[in-house]
Amino acid sequence: MNAEIERQPEEEIKPPVASVGVIGWIRANLFSSWFNSILTLITLYVLWKTVPPFFRWAVIDSNWFSTAEVCRGSEGACWSIIPANIRFILFGFFPYESQWRPLVAMILLVALLFYSRDRKHWKKSLAYAWVIGLVVMGLLMKGGILGLASVETTQWGGLPLTLMLSVFGLTAAYPLGVILALGRQSKMPAVKTLCIIYIEMIRGVPLITLLFMSSVVFPLFLPEGMTVNVILRAQAAIIMFTAAYIAEVVRGGLQGMSKGQYEAAESMGLNYYQTMRLVILPQALKIVIPPTVSQLISALKDTSLVVIIALYDLLKTTQSVLSDPAWMAFSSEAYIFVALIYFLCCYFMSSYSRRLEKELDTGL
């Protein structure tokens, strides 16, 4: 200890150049051993082989606002397919003149989501803001009042449909999932069995079979002459599907509660309903917020399966554009564009979920 105190500042020896700064960082992180060096070289080679050609195709040689004919003669990417068809890709069959309405609705949704990111804003007023926001969005989409022309749900398509199927799917599935999770934990054998059968059965089959069921079999279940709109049937299938997964997420939260919480609640004389509502659920649901966000991401990605039953969601409108003779050759560009939209939505949510996980972790 003493030796250190006595050391004069001018005697301080700087570390060798090779171990600090850029060179040091490169040595420590890229070439720390022969194996690492080989890995680095291989990775660099692969990147060098793939990135520049891709960049050349996607940026340097690309066309942005040309016609399809110009694109055909060109070597690069034809991004022109996007601006030429953007409105159909995004909004589907929504009446052309009224497409500002879904646009405003989506901006509203994104704004609300952004505002809700911060946990400081989680107050009662935010809940009201969401309710009002959702109603406004619904009115904008549906129309029929305030001079807005009425638009049938069958005409909804593209991104609003994708968002509606996933966001509404999760919102509606949530209460159902909580009930199922509570039912699975219940001491009543009949209720417990029913819930387990439901959850395990839904989780055991692919979503696509449920969608087939909703589109081909469900109409046969209804009394003669009664029909339910195909979008709603798909929505119901997605809700049923998501609910089973939410139930398992919530069950994880319920199992994470210590027994003391139940006992404390009981010793205060609370009945089952009160225990759950006032003590258990508020804590359990808080734990499961991050996995719930992951579930929302899954729901968003899963909605793309409605393509297979011919609902015009984001992916299907894109494919519809691709069946146009003029644009048929540019599927990569169109798919990359759609992939980018999905990626941005999912990335935003997953990084948020990770941040939240950290915040909640320290909070508890």
Where in 69-98 is the site for other proteins (CB under 8 A)? 72, 84-85, 87-88, 91-96
CB of 139 or CB of 309, closer to other proteins: 309
Helix (H, G, I), strand (E, B) or coil at 148: coil
Q: Tell me: does residue 111 bind other proteins (CB under 8 A).
A: no
Q: Tell me: does residue 347 bind other proteins (CB under 8 A).
A: yes
Out of 108, 126, 148, 329, which residue is the one contacting other proteins (CB under 8 A)? 329
- Rounded Cα distance between 283 and 260, Å, is 13
Kindly indicate which of the ranges 2-10, 100-108, 253-261, 327-335 contains the residues binding other proteins, using the contact rule CB under 8 A.
Answer: 327-335
Q: Tell me: does residue 273 bind other proteins (CB under 8 A).
A: yes
Contacts of 70 (CB under 8 A, 6+ apart): 63, 80
CB of 121 or CB of 271, closer to other proteins: 271
Q: Which residues from 232-251 bind other proteins, rule CB under 8 A? A: 232
- For residue 69, the tally of other CB atoms under 10 A from its CB is 8
CB of 267 or CB of 362, closer to other proteins: 267
Q: Tell me: does residue 339 bind other proteins (CB under 8 A).
A: yes
**Least distance from C-beta 258 to other proteins, angstroms?**
18
**Least distance from C-beta 6 to other proteins, angstroms?**
34
Q: Which residues from 21-60 bind other proteins, rule CB under 8 A? A: 29-30, 32, 36, 39-40, 43-44, 47
267 close to 258: Cβ distance less than 8 angstroms: no
Position 250, amino acid: V
User: What CA–CA distances, in Å, run from 170 to 10, 81, 241?
Assistant: 65, 32, 10
* Burial tier of 173 (Cβ tally within 10 Å: 0-12, 13-18, 19+): buried
**Radius of gyration of the chain measured on its C-alpha atoms:** 27
CB of 257 or CB of 346, closer to other proteins: 346
Q: Which residues from 297-326 bind other proteins, rule CB under 8 A? A: 297, 301-302, 304-305, 307-310, 312, 315, 319-325
**Least distance from C-beta 149 to other proteins, angstroms?**
12
Position 186, amino acid: S
Kindly indicate which of the ranges 3-11, 50-58, 250-258, 269-277 contains the residues binding other proteins, using the contact rule CB under 8 A.
Answer: 269-277
CB of 62 or CB of 198, closer to other proteins: 198
| Nearest residue to 245 (alpha-carbon basis) of 210, 303, 198 | 198
Looking at the DSSP bridge assignments, the partners of residue 78 are 63
- Rounded Cα distance between 90 and 162, Å, is 10
CB of 84 or CB of 287, closer to other proteins: 84
Looking at the DSSP bridge assignments, the partners of residue 313 are 158
Out of 172, 196, 257, 360, which residue is the one contacting other proteins (CB under 8 A)? 172
> Per-residue x/- marks for other proteins, 202-231, CB under 8 A?
-xxxxxxx--xx-xxx-xxxxxxxxxxxx-
Q: Tell me: does residue 67 bind other proteins (CB under 8 A).
A: no
Tokens of 162: 């994708």
Position 338, amino acid: V
CB of 7 or CB of 38, closer to other proteins: 38
Out of 67, 74, 150, 154, which residue is the one contacting other proteins (CB under 8 A)? 154
93 close to 157: Cβ distance less than 8 angstroms: yes
- Rounded Cα distance between 111 and 158, Å, is 19
**Least distance from C-beta 57 to other proteins, angstroms?**
13
User: What CA–CA distances, in Å, run from 54 to 113, 138, 148?
Assistant: 34, 41, 45
CB of 283 or CB of 319, closer to other proteins: 319
**Least distance from C-beta 105 to other proteins, angstroms?**
17
* Burial tier of 192 (Cβ tally within 10 Å: 0-12, 13-18, 19+): middle
